[in-house]
C-alpha cells in the first residue's frame, strides 16, 4: 500500500468517526456557540484558543495555529505518521484501507527507514536482555540484584547488559540482515578511523518503549567508573529525548488501564522501583530536565501530575524547575516531599508503600514557599523579612482568591506580619517572568490590510460551516486562487476535513485560518445577510481597484484616449 488515499474514502472515514469524539478523548471540550473550545494540547495556555468545529470536521488553534482534521490531530498528538493515524481511525470505523497510488520515493524511504530502525531496536533489546543472563552480563546482573530487583523484575522491564568491548551488537545486526545505514541511524553503532564499535558498552540497558510497543531507543548505566554515568540514544528518525518519556509503555500500553495521574521521577531505576512496589503511572525524563514538549505529552494522558524527585538539594531545585515548566499547562500538579534527603527508591525500601502513600503532596505555591526558606536564617529579622518577600512574590502569581487567602493566613501566622502588610507587599512586588508565552485570541489577530481579502476569508468560513450554499457564492467571487479552489471543492459537496490534507503544505495554514474564522452568525438568515454584505464589499473593492487603474491611466493618456477612459470611469462610478 503506497501513496495518497482517495478523498472520497477519507471523507467517508472522517464522517464515521466525528472529530469531536476523537479530540474529546484527549482534551475536555466545552461548547460555546456552534464550536467546541478547550485549552490547546499543543502548547501551554490558560485561556482556551483551541476549537473543534463538528460541521467542518476541523480543529484549529488561534494561538499556535495548528489545525486540520482528525487524522492531523492524531498524527500531531501521538507523534505518529499520518498513515498510522488513518489506520487507527479505520480500525475504529471498521473500514478496510484501499490500495494507494504510488507515493514519492523520499516519503517511501523515510517510512521504510523508520520501520527498519524499530526492528533493529527490537533486535538490540532482545540481544541485550539475552546477554544479562550470560557470564559477560554478571556485573550488570549483580548491580540490579543489589538494587533490589529479582529475575522476574528484570524480565518484566526487559533490562539487559551491553558487552564490555567490541562490536558484538553491530555484527549480530549485520548478520540478521540490517544495513549499515539503518544501524548507524538507529545510533546502535559508530565508526572511528575505520573501526566499527557498539555505541553502548559495559552498561545496564533500559529499553525505551512507547505505548504502541515500539522500541525507540535505550538508556544505559555504566558499570564501573566510566563516563558518562548514564548514556542515552541520541536523536534519531524515531527518537527525541525532548519529546519522549521512559515508562509510558507500562502506564499506557495496550490493555493497561489509563491512570488518573502520572508520577514523574528523575531516572530509570526510580521508575522501575516504584512500579515494582505496585505504584502505577510512573514515568521519567530521558537524561534531560523536563521540557515543554514532555509536559504536553504528559497532558495527553493525564490531568494530574505528581513530581517525585529526590529529597536532596539537587532534587528540590529540579522540582522547582519542573514547576516552572508545568505552569500554565493546565495540569493539576503536586510535588511529593521526601524527608531527610531521601530518594523515592530509598524511601520505599526503608518505609514501604503504605508510608509512601502518606507523604505530603504539595501544590506548586506551597512547595515554592517551603523552598523559599532555603539558605535563610529565619531566627533573624533579616532572614524572616527576605522569606516573607519571597513568599509574597510567589503568592502574587495565584489566580484563585480562596487559595490566596489560605496561604496569607498561613504566612501571617508563620511570620507575624498582618494580612494588610502582606497584601501591600504583594501589590508592590514584580512578578517573575513565566515560561508561558502570550497567546493570541481570535480578536487579537490582525485583520488583513485588504478589506476584500478579509471578506473573502469570511465567505469561505460561512460556506465551510454550511451557513450559505453555492447558490450565494461562486468561485469567481474570489480573487484569491486558494479561496476559489476551496469554494469549488465545497460547492462540489466535499467536506473540508477530507480535502484539507490534499492542499500543498504552504497553503494549508492559510486555508485553515479562513475555514476556522470566528465568530460566525448563528442562523442561515443572518449568514445570508452577512454574505450579501461581504460580496458587496468584494465587488466594491474590485470596482475601486479598476477605478484607480483607469484614473492613473487618464493622467498620462493622449487626448484621443481620454474621452473613452472617462466614459468607462463614469460607468464604473455609477455601479458603486
Determine what percent of the chain is predicted with pLDDT higher than 90: 48
Q: Is the pLDDT of residue 340 over 80?
A: yes
* CATH number of the domain bearing residue 13: 3.90.580.10
Q: Are residues 62 and 133 in the same domain?
A: no
Q: Are 267 and 287 in contact (CB under 8 A)?
A: no
Domains in the chain: how many in total?
Answer: 3
Task: Name the more confident of 88 and 567.
Answer: 88
Q: How many helices (H) and strands (E) does the chain have?
A: 24, 16
Same domain, 130 and 225: yes
Q: What is the pLDDT of residue 475?
A: 85
DSSP letters, 469-528, are -TTT--GGG-SSHHHHHHHHHHHTT--HHHHGGGS-HHHHHHHHHHHT-----SSHHHHH
Which of 565 and 317 is assigned the larger pLDDT?
A: 317
Return the CATH number at 543: 1.10.860
Same domain, 144 and 70: no
Closest CA to 468 of 513, 530, 541: 530
Residue 497 lies in a domain: yes
Residue 260 domain flag: no
Q: Is residue 452 located within the same domain as residue 561?
A: yes
Going from the C-alpha of 376 to that of each of 320, 371, 384, the distances in angstroms are: 17, 10, 8
Residue with cell 564490555: 164
Average pLDDT over residues 164-179: 94
Q: What is the pLDDT of residue 186?
A: 96
Residues 168, 86 share a domain? no
Give the domain-ending residue among 93, 125, 141: 93
What whole-number distance in Å separates Cα of residue 576 and Cα of residue 54? 39
Residue 449's pLDDT is 41
- Beta bridge partners, 282, equal 263
CB 6 within 8 A of CB 99: no
Between CA 504 and CA 260 the distance in angstroms is 40
Same domain membership, residue 514 and residue 472: yes
User: Residue 453: which of 484, 488, 474 has the closest Cα?
Assistant: 484
Who contacts 249 (Cβ-Cβ below 8 Å, separation ≥6)? 209, 210, 211, 213
Which band of pLDDT confidence, cut at 50, 70 and 90, is reported for residue 4? low
pLDDT for 439: 32
| Structural element, H or E, at residue 215 | strand 215-222
pLDDT category at 175 given cuts 50, 70, 90 is: very high
Q: What is the mean pLDDT of residues 529-553?
A: 81
pLDDT for residue 322? 96
Residue 489, all three cell numbers: 471543492
Q: Is the pLDDT of residue 231 over 80?
A: yes
Q: Summarize pLDDT for 344-367 with one digit per residue, the tens.
A: 999 999 999 999 999 999 999 999
- Clarify whether residues 120 and 215 are in a common domain: yes
Within a domain: 18: yes
Please report whether residue 177 resides in a domain. yes
Cis ω on the peptide bond leading into residue 504 (within 30° of 0)?
no
CA contacts within 13 A on the Cβ side of 140: 27
| Residue 198 and residue 159 share a domain | yes
Peptide bond just before 519 cis, omega within 30 deg: yes
211: left (phi over 0), alpha (psi -120 to 50) or beta: alpha
Q: 144 in a domain, yes or no?
A: yes
- Secondary structure class of 252 (helix, strand, coil): helix
Q: How confident is the model at residue 19 (pLDDT cuts 50, 70, 90)?
A: very high
**Residue 348 placed within a domain:** no
| Reported confidence tier of residue 253, pLDDT bands at 50, 70, 90 | low
Determine the pLDDT at residue 34: 82
Q: Which residue has the higher pLDDT, 25 or 105?
A: 25
Question: Max Cα separation, the chain?
Answer: 104
The CATH number assigned to the domain holding 223 equals 3.90.980.10
Of 128-142, 301-315, 395-409, 450-464, the least confident: 450-464
What pLDDT shows up at residue 276? 94
What pLDDT band is residue 107 in, cutting at 50, 70 and 90? low
Domain with 533, as residue range(s), is 446-575
Q: Are residues 163 and 224 in the same domain?
A: yes
Q: What is the pLDDT of residue 429?
A: 59
Same domain assignment for residues 566 and 496:
yes
* 122: in domain: yes
Could you tell me if 483 and 457 are in contact, meaning their C-beta atoms sit under 8 angstroms apart?
yes
Helix, strand, coil % (nearest 5) of the chain? 50, 10, 35
CA atoms within 13 A on the CB side of 120: 30
Judge whether residue 438 has pLDDT over 50. Answer: no
Are residues 137 and 59 located together in one domain of the fold? no
The contacts of residue 110 (CB under 8 Å, 6+ apart) are: 237
Residue 297 or 574, more confident: 297
Does 127 reside within a domain?
Answer: yes
Secondary structure letter of residue 476 according to DSSP: G
Q: Quick one: what percent of the chain has pLDDT higher than 70?
A: 90
Among the candidates 232, 262, 292, a domain finishes at: 232
554 and 473 in a common domain: yes
Chain centroid to Cα 247, Å, comes to 18
Question: What order of strands is seen across the sheet that includes strand 50-53?
Answer: 30-32, 35-38, 50-53, 58-61, 67-68
In tens, the pLDDT along 441-450 reads 333 333 334 7
Listed residues 186, 210, 232: the one ending a domain: 232
Amino acid at each position: 500500500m503506497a501513496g495518497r488515499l482517495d478523498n472520497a474514502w477519507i471523507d467517508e472515514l472522517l464522517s464515521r468517526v466525528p472529530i469531536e469524539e476523537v479530540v474529546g478523548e484527549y482534551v475536555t471540550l466545552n461548547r460555546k456557540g456552534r464550536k467546541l473550545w478547550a485549552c490547546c494540547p499543543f502548547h501551554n495556555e490558560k485561556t482556551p484558543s483551541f476549537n473543534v468545529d463538528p460541521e467542518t470536521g476541523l480543529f484549529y488553534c488561534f494561538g499556535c495555529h495548528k489545525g486540520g482534521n482528525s487524522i492531523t490531530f492524531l498524527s500531531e498528538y501521538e507523534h505518529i505518521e499520518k498513515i498510522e493515524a488513518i489506520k487507527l481511525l479505520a480500525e475504529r470505523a471498521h473500514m478496510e484501507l484501499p490500495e494507494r497510488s504510488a507515493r514519492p520515493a523520499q516519503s517511501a524511504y523515510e517510512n521504510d527507514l523508520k520501520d527498519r530502525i524499530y526492528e533493529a531496536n527490537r533486535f538490540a533489546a532482545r540481544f541485550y536482555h539475552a546477554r544479562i543472563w550470560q557470564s559477560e552480563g554478571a556485573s550488570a546482573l549483580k548491580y540490579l540484584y543489589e538494587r533490589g530487583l529479582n529475575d522476574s523484575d528484570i524480565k518484566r522491564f526487559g533490562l539487559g547488559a551491553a558487552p564490555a568491548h567490541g562490536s558484538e551488537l553491530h555484527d549480530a545486526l549485520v548478520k540478521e540482515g540490517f544495513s549499515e545505514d539503518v544501524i548507524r541511524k538507529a545510533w546502535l553503532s559508530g565508526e572511528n578511523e575505520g573501526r566499527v564499535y557498539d555505541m553502548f558498552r559495559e552498561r545496564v540497558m533500559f529499553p525505551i518503549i512507547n505505548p504502541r510497543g515500539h522500541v525507540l531507543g535505550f538508556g544505559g548505566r555504566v558499570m564501573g567508573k566510566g563516563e558518562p554515568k548514564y548514556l542515552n540514544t541520541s536523536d534519531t528518525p524515531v527518537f527525541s529525548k525532548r519529546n519522549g518519556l521512559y515508562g509510558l509503555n507500562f502506564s499506557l500500553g495496550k490493555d493497561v488501564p489509563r491512570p488518573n495521574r502520572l508520577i514523574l521521577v528523575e531516572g530509570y531505576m526510580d521508575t522501575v522501583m516504584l512500579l515494582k512496589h505496585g505504584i502505577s503511572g510512573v514515568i521519567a525524563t530521558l537524561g534531560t530536565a523536563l521540557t515543554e514538549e514532555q509536559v504536553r505529552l504528559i497532558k495527553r494522558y493525564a490531568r494530574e501530575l505528581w513530581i517525585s524527585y529526590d529529597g536532596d538539594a539537587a532534587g528540590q531545585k529540579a522540582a522547582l524547575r519542573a514547576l516552572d515548566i508545568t505552569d500554565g499547562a493546565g495540569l493539576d500538579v503536586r510535588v511529593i516531599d521526601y524527608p531527610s534527603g531521601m530518594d523515592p527508591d530509598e524511601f520505599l525500601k526503608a518505609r514501604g508503600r503504605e508510608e509512601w502513600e502518606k507523604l505530603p503532596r504539595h501544590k506548586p505555591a506551597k512547595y515554592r514557599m517551603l523552598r523559599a526558606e532555603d539558605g535563610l536564617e529565619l531566627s533573624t529579622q533579616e532572614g524572616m523579612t527576605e522569606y516573607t518577600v519571597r513568599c509574597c512574590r510567589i503568592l502574587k502569581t495565584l489566580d484563585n482568591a480562596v487559595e490566596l487567602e489560605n496561604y496569607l493566613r498561613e504566612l501571617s501566622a508563620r511570620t507575624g506580619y498582618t494580612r494588610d502588610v502582606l497584601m501591600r507587599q504583594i501589590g508592590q512586588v514584580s512578578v517573575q517572568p513565566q515560561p508561558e508565552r502570550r497567546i493570541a485570541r481570535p480578536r487579537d489577530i490582525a485583520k488583513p490590510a485588504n478589506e476584500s481579502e478579509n471578506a473573502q476569508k469570511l465567505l469561505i468560513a460561512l460556506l465551510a460551516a454550511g451557513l450559505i450554499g453555492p447558490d450565494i457564492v461562486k468561485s469567481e467571487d474570489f480573487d484569491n486562487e486558494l479561496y476559489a479552489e476551496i469554494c469549488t471543492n465545497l460547492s462540489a459537496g466535499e467536506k473540508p476535513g477530507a480535502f484539507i490534507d490534499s492542499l500543498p503544505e504552504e497553503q494549508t495554514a492559510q486555508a485553515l485560518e479562513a475555514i476556522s474564522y470566528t465568530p460566525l452568525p448563528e442562523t442561515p438568515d443572518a449568514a445570508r445577510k452577512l454574505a450579501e454584505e461581504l460580496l458587496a464589499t468584494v465587488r466594491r473593492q474590485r470596482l475601486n481597484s479598476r477605478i484607480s487603474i483607469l484614473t492613473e491611466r487618464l493622467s498620462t493618456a493622449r487626448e484621443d484616449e481620454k474621452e473613452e477612459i472617462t466614459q468607462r470611469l463614469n460607468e464604473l462610478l455609477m455601479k458603486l
